[in-house]
Amino acid sequence: MNGRSCLAIVLAAGEGTRMRSRTPKVLHTIGNRTLLEHVLSTAMAAGGAGIAVVLGPDHDAVAKEARRVAPQVAIFKQTERLGTAHAVLSAREALAAKPADVLVMFGDTPLIQVDTLARLRGALADGAAVAVLGFTPADPTGYGRLITDAAGLAAIREHKDASEAERAIGFCNGGLMALAGEHALAILARIGNSNANREYYLTDAVAVARDMGLNAVAIETSEDDVRGINTKAQLAEAESVLQQRLRAAAMEAGVTMVAPETVFLSSDTKFGKDVTIEPNVVFGPGVTVEDGAVIRAFSHVEGAHVGKGARVGPFARLRPGAQLGTDVHIGNFVEIKAATIEDGAKANHLAYIGDARVGAGANIGAGTITCNYDGYGKHKTDIGAGAFIGTNSSLVAPVKIGDGAYIGSGSVITKDVPAEALALGRGQQTIKEGWAKRLREARILSKNGSPAAKKP
């Protein structure tokens, strides 16, 4: 970023009991990404080449997620929860390498943005030993208050320890902090625990730095940036902020959304140019939508690739492994799973296509089902280019339909069909001339008291 080395220490030893969940707090998701992944990705994007994560005991699942996101991560354990400064010191080894900048981040504060971290680092580059994020919440209760003077930031007072006058200050500590690596260990080592909670407060780094003749500053940011998550309700609020950001970014990049507030995106959703998203569309993880595609109302799309100019929905479901080529049409009540639908192919109504390939230009009639599961394993259906699958056909996999073949509607296809052939797999139609008329006449006779009606 600014050429200075940077270590990000992510504190995630929180208990998270208020989430009322078996899942550790930082493994909850917003935008289909764990809170931890949000924090780690932002740290890396802000130049944090070194990453340290501080965990509580029994946090193997959290360590695994940290390694998945940032393979270079160093994991440290804080066995006793003695405060935020104590937590940072658990990563003493990483600090000993004296990176130029140290970013202390919270695993439960996922909305922090790269630009905000860059501003914190900028303050260190300008000579501050400690830079904290300040914000003005609607209700400051519970937050540390920022006490400023002519020289900058003098101290942070935790709510519990603050006097009446200090509690009247609206400018609060967002929690995250940047420390000059050169002084970080010396500052942290001087922090004591003589406060209401008997905790080692990271926030005391400010007063300690000032005592050592060093500078501390507050950088102002928005409440959303430093929104911490302790409850499911706060998780939902953070989701809502993230969704607004994702929608705004998509529209900024040229996506047309008729009713953006009804569209749910994933952090990794990728759009080309001139894509249109109608109302009430949900994107799960792993979706790419290419130029000019239209996703119509009430569609659910995850793990899918939608090719150029393709049309999906309304009411379509694309499940993981759905690969739609250029100009493919997938219509209402069609479900596609682990299937490649090649250029120009169409499945416009009521179909299930799973574990399949549908060749270019093929037409899948309404009610077509690939019977991919036999109760034990999954099998493949291969449909050739230009094939025509008549309505209400069951294709019992494994099965291959050749290029240009024709399947008569209502067929149950259990054997491969050669290219250009017609396959019929259904009961023969029989005609009984005059049968209906004879029935009707016999019924009328019996109603009028004539001899018992005979079947025609």
11 binds ligand UD1 (CB under 6 A): yes
CA dihedral (225, 228, 229, 231) positive or negative: negative
The residue within the footprint of ligand UD1, chosen from 162, 180, 202, 351 (CB under 6 A), is 202
107 binds Mg ion (CB under 5 A): no
CB of 191 within 8 A of CB of 207?
A: no
Is residue 349 flagged as an active site residue? yes
Q: CA angle at residue 322 from 321 to 323, to 5 degrees?
A: 105
CB of 30 to Mg ion, least distance (A): 16
Binding residues for ligand UD1 restricted to 151-170, rule: CB under 6 A: 156, 158
> What's the token pair of residue 186?
């010396």
Nearest position to Mg ion, beta carbon: 228
144 binds Mg ion (CB under 5 A): no
Dist CA 362 CA 384 (whole Å): 7
CB of 227 to ligand UD1, least distance (A): 8
Binding residues for ligand UD1 restricted to 320-339, rule: CB under 6 A: none
228 binds Mg ion (CB under 5 A): yes
**Cβ count near 38 (within 10 Å):** 23
* Span interacting with Mg ion, options 149-157, 227-235, 276-284, 295-303, rule CB under 5 A: 227-235
| Nearest partner of 204 among 314, 85, 39, judged by Cα | 85
CB of 369 to Mg ion, least distance (A): 51
CB of 311 within 8 A of CB of 325?
A: no
DSSP codes, 94-129: HHHT--SEEEEEETT-TT--HHHHHHHHHHHHTT-S
* Choice between 2 and 231, CB closer to Mg ion: 231
CB of 315 to ligand UD1, least distance (A): 41
The residue within the footprint of ligand UD1, chosen from 76, 143, 264, 352 (CB under 6 A), is 143
CA dihedral (16, 22, 27, 30) positive or negative: negative
83 binds Mg ion (CB under 5 A): no
* Choice between 117 and 156, CB closer to ligand UD1: 156
134 binds ligand UD1 (CB under 6 A): no
> What's the token pair of residue 285?
């993880």
104 binds ligand UD1 (CB under 6 A): no
**Beta pairing class for 6-12 and 288-289:** unpaired
> What's the token pair of residue 95?
């600090």
81 binds ligand UD1 (CB under 6 A): yes
| The CA-based dihedral angle spanning residues 40, 42, 44, 48, taken in that order and rounded to the nearest 10 degrees | -100
CB of 209 to ligand UD1, least distance (A): 15
CB of 238 within 8 A of CB of 225?
A: no
Residues that bind ligand UD1 (CB under 6 A): 11-14, 54, 78, 81-84, 86-87, 106-108, 143-144, 156, 158, 172-175, 201-203, 228
Give the catalytic positions in this structure. Answer: 349
